[in-house]
Amino acid sequence: MYKQDNRLAVRGTYIHAPKLGEIEVVESALIVVGAAGAVEQILLPDDPSFEANCRAAKDAGHYVQLRENQYLLPGLVDLHVHAPQWPQAGRALRVPLEQWLQQYTFPLEARYSDIEFAQCVYQSLVNTLLANGTTTALYFASIHLESSLLLAQICLESGQRALVGKVSMDNPEQCPDYYREQSTSAGLATTEAFICGVKSLPNNQLSMVRPVVTPRFIPSCTDEMLLGLGQIANQHDCHVQTHCSESEWEHQYVLDRFGKSDTECLADMGLANGKSVFAHANFVSDEDMTIIHEAAVGIAHCPMSNIYFANSVFPTRKALNTGINVGLGTDIAGGPSPSLLFNCQMATSMSRILESGVDPTLRDSVRGVADSRLTFQEAFWMATAGGGAALGENIGVFKPGYCFDAIVVDFNVEHSNIANWPELENADEQLEKIIYNANRQNIVRVWVNGQTVVDRASSR
Amino acid sequence: MYKQDNRLAVRGTYIHAPKLGEIEVVESALIVVGAAGAVEQILLPDDPSFEANCRAAKDAGHYVQLRENQYLLPGLVDLHVHAPQWPQAGRALRVPLEQWLQQYTFPLEARYSDIEFAQCVYQSLVNTLLANGTTTALYFASIHLESSLLLAQICLESGQRALVGKVSMDNPEQCPDYYREQSTSAGLATTEAFICGVKSLPNNQLSMVRPVVTPRFIPSCTDEMLLGLGQIANQHDCHVQTHCSESEWEHQYVLDRFGKSDTECLADMGLANGKSVFAHANFVSDEDMTIIHEAAVGIAHCPMSNIYFANSVFPTRKALNTGINVGLGTDIAGGPSPSLLFNCQMATSMSRILESGVDPTLRDSVRGVADSRLTFQEAFWMATAGGGAALGENIGVFKPGYCFDAIVVDFNVEHSNIANWPELENADEQLEKIIYNANRQNIVRVWVNGQTVVDRASSR
């Protein structure tokens, strides 16, 4: 997918969330993208250079004009995807986390020593995520060096911005014999080899794909592994991802083993910094939230997965109020859906049910947690700008200097489920309708870094 | 759409839920449909007459063979749809029920005095529901006779099995001047005119569309209206639908006005019987549940709508254990999505969150309601056979004598979000994947009463 010149000019109405809770709708704008794929300028029709820029882009053959009923949105940022679990997306949701791992997930992940199987699954997943508008994904791969590198390569070739982690897990008490690093030192060495391998992939000059240090979660790792990974992350200035206080079982396991919380442990091990993303964090304490905020760690909130495997709702409102950068994750396959727009809807819905509670035999004043609700505008911020902020990348907003990662949502495609009555609503409400009813077929075009990676517009 | 001969034979693998909690998968079956649209027989390949029946159907030109990766499922039964609210599906979900009605919903519904507007909205909705696999829908229309009859006619012409109610609401204390029956007696007379009008629609010989007595909910109606509607339902042997104990506000309103619950009131008014469907019922007591069960009233559970407007989760497990016929409703536009498969997923998800609770600061032993979970198999029963049982119609199961209302789900369509690894899973798990990730584009064919009403297979 790599090309040297990503220049582009897109004219149409865009909607984004430059600040938490604020939606900005800009009609008939012209977004001018430079050769390196970043936004150079955003012009309005009354700008004296507007028409000249349109003409220049037309003459150069890189002008795109959106149609009526089409909106330009920032590309979606998925902060938590287990790539090898894609074949089981949407099944086996009935068992608790620890059983789900041992009975379903570890046996499946162990198959990725088979590079052909990996090729088939990973290409299917990356295509699916791109088609659903996910322009950036933070992936857990498996423990295998070769197939994890293959995932990075597939992302690069498919044009998806990606952060990919080879999973580290070496604790014989928690990991089965058939799916565990050969030794702690071998595991650490493989992680370093993975980091170097991703950085030296052909055509990765722009670092479109980055390596991520990825201890699965504390129970899977020995102390030595965690400390070693912290050092590697520091030496290579790498992103870090792991699960943090996801379920009551897992949270209690760490308290029992270390006498402190996941967050405190991860901070001690050098795994909590501005390039870290913790998935879930449902059971963190107020003190943990302060640590997370002060260390500038991002949180991947996975609302669907929480229903099945965290058995509670992450107090997102509280985390946002603390100032933490919270983004959204599909958590395939703990979460069943590859759609981040769907998870955006569910983040809103789950925050409402956290606020109102669930048990109708209790009075409303006691059954929920007051002041927990998120607006759809805030959920959309998390799915775009919030995810970008959690990763420390210039993505998720239309702004000069930010990468042009974007999707076109079309209300008028043949199989749309969006009830389209534009004369009855404003653009904010149209965004609400996108979040609630847009399907994959409504996303007709996707750009990453100025490059077209999905284009259905021409096939209609 | 009406034709005299609906004969058909469909060969392929079907999945249905003949009993609550049990999924039956029958491979390579031949379902033979008679001229009136009902299943005549279901043959397996080892039946001596299997091949002869295939040949006869081929010769007659009404043989359909499913492809690999296609499953035949019963058509979906949506027990609660507000047709006039379709334009606001997916917006205005932030306000409480009473405000949502007065500020958004009543002004929108009042527009259906405009028959052209009604034509446009109703045709769009019926097409959308059919495309999502909803073969039977129980509709609230508006208070207007003409446009409510138009909805019935559109269903008939589009080939959807439908039960349609002109809404009754005459209480000046709760209904705005601009959207209320002219008087109680005028409202009752209009309801009778509506019933006769639906029954005498041209081409409605098979009663594919039926009239439904539809008091909006108790707050909207005077005592005289409720009593009068009970009498009308009895005289005309009509179905009845209304909202029952949906929100705490509404439930308390009825307690204050009558000193008893919605369920007790509705029973007193002659509105609770084997042809009645109560929507929501979140706040019913154990005694109410017993009344509902003994009167053979069905319940329309609307999991998405409950999040926003009931602020609690309907205790579905308890209702099913009581023996009540519970089906599912989209509750457009209290629920944002026209997809019943999505609501099937959400019924499962919401039952899990009712069981586990939401607040992670409480211990898991106290934050939820034990034994509340539904399996996806049970949710699928509700979406099909349960909905049929609630209506007292022979639909929702493949069985001789039952109407052939069916959908074909195809895993291999171009824009599918289903991760398809059939070699890794059984048919039950494939159904789970359908419930979690099938979009409208996966539904490639829909039959109602043996007639094709959606056919995308040929356009691929």
Q: Does A303 touch chain B if contact means CB atoms closer than 8 Å?
A: no
Amino acid at A195: I
Query: Which of B82, B227, B117, B106 has its CA nearest to residue B177?
Result: B106
Binary contact (A360, B313; C-beta < 8 A): yes
Same-domain pairing of B24 and B95: no
Amino acid at A338: P
Q: Token pair of A106, please?
A: 């570890």
CATH classification at residue B126: 3.20.20.140
HEC per residue, chain A: CCCCCCCEEEEEEEEEEEECCEEEEEEEEEEEECCCCEEEEEECCCCCCHHHHHHHHHHHCCEEECCCCEEEEECEEEEEEEHHHHHHCCCCCCCCHHHHHHHHHHHHHHHHHCHHHHHHHHHHHHHHHHHCCEEEEEEECCCCHHHHHHHHHHHHHHCCEEEEECEECCCCCCCCCCCCCCCHHHHHHHHHHHHHHHHCCCCCCCCCEEEEEEECCHHHCCHHHHHHHHHHHHHHCCEEEEEECCCHHHHHHHHHHHCCCHHHHHHHCCCCCCCEEEEECCCCCHHHHHHHHHCCCEEEECHHHHHHHHCCCCCHHHHHHHCCCEEECCCECCCCCCCHHHHHHHHHHHHHHHHHCCCCCCCHHHHCCCCCCCCHHHHHHHHHHHHHHHHCCCCCCCCCCCECCEEEEECCCCCCCCCCCHHHCCHHHHHHHHHHHCCHHHEEEEEECCEEEEECHHHC
Same-domain pairing of A304 and A316: yes
Q: Does B283 touch chain A if contact means CB atoms closer than 8 Å?
A: yes
Are the C-beta atoms of residues B378 and B320 closer than 8 Å to each other?
yes
Three-state DSSP at B166 gives coil
Are the C-beta atoms of residues B24 and B18 closer than 8 Å to each other?
yes
Binary contact (B89, A419; C-beta < 8 A): yes
Q: Which residues of chain A neighbour B345 with C-beta distances below 8 Å? A: 336
Same-domain pairing of A380 and A437: no
Are the C-beta atoms of residues B148 and B196 closer than 8 Å to each other?
no
The residue of chain B with its CA nearest to that of A111 is B424
Q: Token pair of A96, please?
A: 């608790």
Three-state DSSP at B360 gives coil
Same-domain pairing of A278 and A357: yes
H or E stretch covering B55: helix B50-60
* Residue B242, in any domain of the structure: yes
Phi/psi at A434 (5° precision):
-60, -45
Same-domain pairing of A259 and A382: yes
Write out the residue range of the structural domain in which residue B405 sits: 8-73+396-459
Q: Token pair of A56, please?
A: 């220049």
Same-domain pairing of A132 and A35: no
CA distances from A272 to A278, A331, B162 (A): 9, 20, 57
Are the C-beta atoms of residues B53 and B363 closer than 8 Å to each other?
no
- What pLDDT is attached to residue B413? 93
Binary contact (B441, A437; C-beta < 8 A): no
Same-domain pairing of A119 and A209: yes
Binary contact (A439, B436; C-beta < 8 A): no
- What pLDDT is attached to residue B459? 46
* Residue B2, in any domain of the structure: no
Same-domain pairing of A375 and A413: no
A414 burial via Cβ count (<10 Å: 0-12, 13-18, 19+): exposed
Look at residues B391, B417, B442 and tell me which one is the last residue of a structural domain.
B391
The residue of chain B with its CA nearest to that of A124 is B419
- What pLDDT is attached to residue B220? 97
Same-domain pairing of A194 and A303: yes
- What pLDDT is attached to residue A132? 98
Binary contact (B440, A433; C-beta < 8 A): no
Distance CA A26, CA A427 (A): 10
For residue B22, the 8-state DSSP code is E
Same-domain pairing of B336 and B423: no
Distance CA B255, CA B266 (A): 12
Query: Average pLDDT for residues A82-97, to the nearest whole number?
Result: 94
Query: Which of A352, A284, A356, A357 has its CA nearest to residue A324?
Result: A284
Q: How many CB atoms lie within 10 A of CB B429?
A: 17
The residue of chain B with its CA nearest to that of A434 is B90
Q: Token pair of B211, please?
A: 């009239």
C-alpha A24: how far from chain center: 22
**At A459, is the pLDDT very low, low, confident or very high (cuts 50, 70, 90)?**
very low
Please tell me the distance in Å from B54's CA to the nearest CA on chain A.
Answer: 33
pLDDT at A240 > cutoff 60: yes
pLDDT digits (tens, 9 = 90+) for A40-76: 999 999 999 999 999 999 999 999 999 999 999 999 9
Q: Token pair of B275, please?
A: 């042809």
* Residue B411, in any domain of the structure: yes
CATH classification at residue B447: 2.30.40.10
Binary contact (A313, B436; C-beta < 8 A): no
Q: How many domains does chain A have?
A: 2
Same-domain pairing of A261 and A310: yes
HEC per residue, B115-162: HHHHHHHHHHHHHHHHHCCEEEEEEECCCCHHHHHHHHHHHHHHCCEE
* Residue B404, in any domain of the structure: yes
* Residue A27, in any domain of the structure: yes
Least CB-CB distance to A87: which of B310, B364, B419? B419
Q: Cis omega before residue A333 (within 30°)?
A: yes
pLDDT at A206 > cutoff 60: yes
Query: Which of B146, B163, B154 has its CA nearest to residue B208?
Result: B163
Please tell me the distance in Å from B201's CA to the nearest CA on chain A.
Answer: 28
Q: What is the rounded average pLDDT for all residues in chain A?
A: 96
CA distances from B47 to A19, A394, B51, B57 (A): 66, 65, 8, 16
- For chain B, residues with pLDDT lower than 50 are 459-460
pLDDT at A2 > cutoff 80: no
- What pLDDT is attached to residue B343? 98
- Strands A76-82 and A39-43 come out as unpaired
H or E stretch covering B380: helix B376-381
Look at residues B391, B417, B451 and tell me which one is the last residue of a structural domain.
B391
Query: Which of A285, A346, A291 has its CA nearest to residue A313?
Result: A346
* Residue B1, in any domain of the structure: no
Q: Does A369 touch chain B if contact means CB atoms closer than 8 Å?
A: yes
A26 burial via Cβ count (<10 Å: 0-12, 13-18, 19+): middle
Binary contact (B89, A338; C-beta < 8 A): no
Residue of A98, A417, A430, A459 to mutate, interface with B, max B Cβ within 10 Å: A417
Same-domain pairing of B403 and B361: no
Binary contact (B375, A94; C-beta < 8 A): yes
Please tell me the distance in Å from A351's CA to the nearest CA on chain B.
Answer: 9
* Residue B454, in any domain of the structure: yes
* Residue A243, in any domain of the structure: yes
Q: Token pair of A80, please?
A: 């938590």
**At A3, is the pLDDT very low, low, confident or very high (cuts 50, 70, 90)?**
low
pLDDT digits (tens, 9 = 90+) for A104-131: 999 999 999 999 999 999 999 999 999 9
Number of residues assigned to chain A: 460
Q: Does A325 touch chain B if contact means CB atoms closer than 8 Å?
A: no
Q: Does B135 touch chain A if contact means CB atoms closer than 8 Å?
A: no
Q: Which residues of chain A neighbour B432 with C-beta distances below 8 Å? A: 90-91, 93
Look at residues A333, A364, A391 and tell me which one is the last residue of a structural domain.
A391
Query: Which of B383, B347, B452 has its CA nearest to residue B76?
Result: B383
